[in-house]
């Protein structure tokens, strides 16, 4: 497993271009299974997760090729309806094959993903959703075994506005008979993105971006052709890096309108942020101010930025509180940040972060994509050498992170092992 060697401290300066959004791309790729034909996507990030989804499509008989941000998928020959455990456990988003396979082919067998590094992460809402649409579901040897002659529309209220459940149910409902209403649906930009791409291909969907999405089933949809939105979490991570290092970064090809809660918190930390269309310039303060953060469902502060803001607040002048509401156990980065010198007290889903003046480089271990990026940010301002182990997590979700940081002045190199 590769690692990153970072020599700090540094101040980042320059410009960076944001890649396409991982969490928008993965549902779009799965939605190709609805079409029975060819699909093409632009601004596609070449990530480990993109490649894992291509592998899964391959297992299902679907060919795909990715070159220079352009992804072609030919879903005219689906030969298998099973998403195997080996792929689902490496990438939970493999569960996005469930809705499309079921609604188009009447059968899907998808491994249950199991737990993840920071807790149980259930998929009960995905399952309840497809049952409401008329599927027969059996849990068989760790697999979700679902069948249906033809799904029918239904009205449902999600107990939690789950992104994944909204994606799966929306895709299943697109080819169902009649009208589906998803109440308390997720409102994330990635949902709006998927609905937009499906609508261009003939799906009838309204209300995406609000908590009530209505889908009127159609008998078929055509080729999906779509350019993927920029990754809001990657943009937020670079903005946090500018603040933490007291630097100045021009972030190009981003969607500041998807980042309101993050930018508000960074401003409270003292950042100056100039927004102009799809670009923003983030300038870090001389002294970082403490602030309090609570994660929540969009448009609240994203859980996917919690670890990075914790790295920033660890160097603030004073004490901050971070409350994690989406994944109450998502704190695997805390003991690792402490190895660098951070002072954090964790009590349940509440972290009290007492800012310190300096970090010292140390070996640290990443356990998920966002924890890894937080450790890299912290390494940038630590004195001496920080080795971030297991960077395959970074490769799942950040395109060319070390090249992008290097171009901004960071001393970071990948050690291949």
For the annotated catalytic residues, the residue numbers are 116
Work out how close the CB of 226 gets to ligand EPU at its nearest, in angstroms, rounded to a whole number. 16
Closest to ligand EPU by CB, 81 vs 301, is 301
Of 308, 352, 347, nearest to 328 by C-alpha is: 347
Structure tokens given for 125: 């809402």
What lies within 8 Å, CB to CB, of 14 at 6+ separation is: 249, 250, 407, 408, 409
**93 interacts with ligand EPU by CB under 6 A:** yes
Largest CA-CA distance found in the chain, in angstroms, rounded: 63
- Compute how many residues bind ligand EPU; rule: CB under 6 A: 24
Cα dihedral 323, 327, 329, 335 in deg (nearest 10): -70
List C-alpha distances in Å: 124 to 110, 168, 221: 13, 12, 27
Candidates 4-12, 77-85, 149-157, 302-310 — which segment interacts with ligand EPU by CB under 6 A?
Answer: 302-310
DSSP assignment string, 233-266: HHHHHHHHHHHHHT-EEEEES--GGG-HHHHHHH
Looking at beta carbons only, is 157 or 160 nearer to ligand EPU? 160
* In the complex, least distance from residue 14 CB atom to ligand EPU, rounded to whole angstroms: 25
Between 374 and 381, whose beta carbon lies closer to ligand EPU?
374
303 binds ligand EPU (CB under 6 A): yes
Helix axes 48-59, 22-31, angle to 10 degrees: 10
Token couple for 56: 């899964």
Question: How far apart, in whole angstroms, are the C-alpha atoms of residue 353 and residue 315?
Answer: 9
Q: Kindly tell me which of 160 and 225 has the beta carbon lying closer to ligand EPU.
A: 160
Q: Pick from 38, 327, 335, 363 the residue near ligand EPU by CB under 6 A.
A: 327
Min. distance of Cβ 274 from ligand EPU in angstroms? 27
SS (HEC) of 146-206: EECCCCECCEEECCCCCHHHHHHHHHHHHCCECEEEEECCCCCHHHHHHHHHHHHCCCEEE
State the minimum distance, in angstroms, from the CB of residue 190 to ligand EPU. 6
Task: Please tell me whether residue 20 binds ligand EPU under the rule CB under 6 A.
Answer: no
| Smallest distance, ligand EPU to C-beta of residue 356, A | 26
Among residues 237, 193, 229, 228, which one has the least CA distance to residue 16? 237
Residue with the CB atom nearest ligand EPU in the bound state: 164
- Residues within window 349-378 making contact with ligand EPU, judged by CB under 6 A: 369-370
Identified binder of ligand EPU from the candidate list 123, 249, 266, 305, rule CB under 6 A: 123
**Cβ(15)–Cβ(250) under 8 Å?**
yes
Among 86, 124, 149, 274, binds ligand EPU (CB under 6 A): 124
Residue with tokens 């301002």: 381
- How far apart are CB 246 and ligand EPU at their closest, in Å? 26
Residue 333 C-beta: closest distance to ligand EPU, Å: 12
Cβ nearer to ligand EPU, comparing 237 with 250: 237
Residue 97 · residue 87 · CB < 8 Å: no
Residue closer to ligand EPU by CB (options 64, 303) is: 303
* Contact with ligand EPU (CB under 6 A) among 11, 89, 121, 289: 121
Within positions 149 to 188, which residues make up the interface with ligand EPU, using CB under 6 A?
160, 162-165, 186
Helix (H, G, I), strand (E, B) or coil at 27: helix
Residue length, the chain?
A: 417
Q: Which is nearer to ligand EPU, 134 or 164 (CB)?
A: 164
| Residues near ligand EPU, by CB under 6 A | 23, 26, 92-93, 121-126, 160, 162-165, 186, 302-304, 326-327, 369-370, 397
């Amino acid at each position: 497993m590769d690692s990153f060697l970072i020599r700090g401290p540094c101040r980042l300066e320059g410009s960076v271009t944001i890649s396409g959004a991982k969490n928008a791309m993965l549902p779009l790729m799965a939605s190709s299974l609805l079409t029975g034909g060819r699909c093409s996507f632009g601004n596609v990030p070449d990530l480990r997760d993109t490649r894992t989804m291509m592998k899964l499509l391959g297992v299902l008989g679907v060919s795909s090729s990715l070159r220079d941000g352009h992804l072609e998928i030919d879903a005219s020959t689906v030969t298998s309806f099973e998403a195997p455990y080996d792929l689902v456990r490496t990438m939970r988003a493999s569960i996005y094959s469930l809705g499309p396979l079921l609604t188009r082919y009447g059968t899907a067998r998808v491994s249950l993903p199991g737990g993840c590094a920071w807790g149980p992460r259930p998929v009960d809402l995905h399952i309840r959703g497809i049952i409401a649409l008329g599927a027969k579901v059996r849990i068989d040897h760790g697999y979700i075994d679902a069948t249906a002659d033809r799904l029918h529309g239904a009205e449902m209220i999600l107990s939690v506005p789950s992104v994944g459940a909204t994606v799966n149910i929306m895709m299943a409902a697109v080819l169902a008979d009649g009208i589906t209403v998803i109440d308390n649906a997720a409102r994330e930009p990635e949902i709006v993105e998927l609905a937009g791409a499906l609508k261009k291909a003939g799906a009838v969907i309204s209300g995406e971006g609000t908590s009530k999405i209505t889908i009127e089933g159609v008998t078929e949809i055509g080729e999906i052709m779509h350019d993927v939105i920029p990754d809001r979490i990657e943009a937020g991570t670079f903005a946090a890096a500018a603040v933490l290092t007291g630097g100045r970064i021009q972030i190009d090809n981003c969607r500041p309108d998807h980042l309101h809660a993050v930018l508000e918190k960074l401003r409270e930390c003292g950042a100056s942020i100039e927004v102009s269309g799809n670009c923003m310039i983030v300038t870090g303060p001389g002294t970082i101010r403490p602030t309090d953060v609570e994660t929540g469902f969009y448009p609240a502060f994203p859980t996917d930025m919690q670890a990075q803001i914790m790295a920033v607040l660890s160097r603030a002048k004073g004490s901050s509180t971070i409350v994690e509401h989406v994944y109450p156990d998502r704190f695997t980065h805390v003991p690792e940040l402490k190895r660098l010198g951070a002072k954090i007290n964790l009590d349940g889903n509440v972290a009290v972060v007492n800012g310190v003046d300096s970090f010292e480089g140390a070996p640290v271990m990443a356990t998920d994509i966002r924890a890894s990026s937080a450790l890299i940010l912290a390494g940038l301002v630590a004195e001496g050498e920080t080795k971030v182990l297991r960077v395959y997590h970074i490769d799942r979700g950040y395109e060319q992170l070390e090249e992008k940081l290097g171009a901004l002045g960071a001393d970071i190199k990948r050690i291949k092992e």
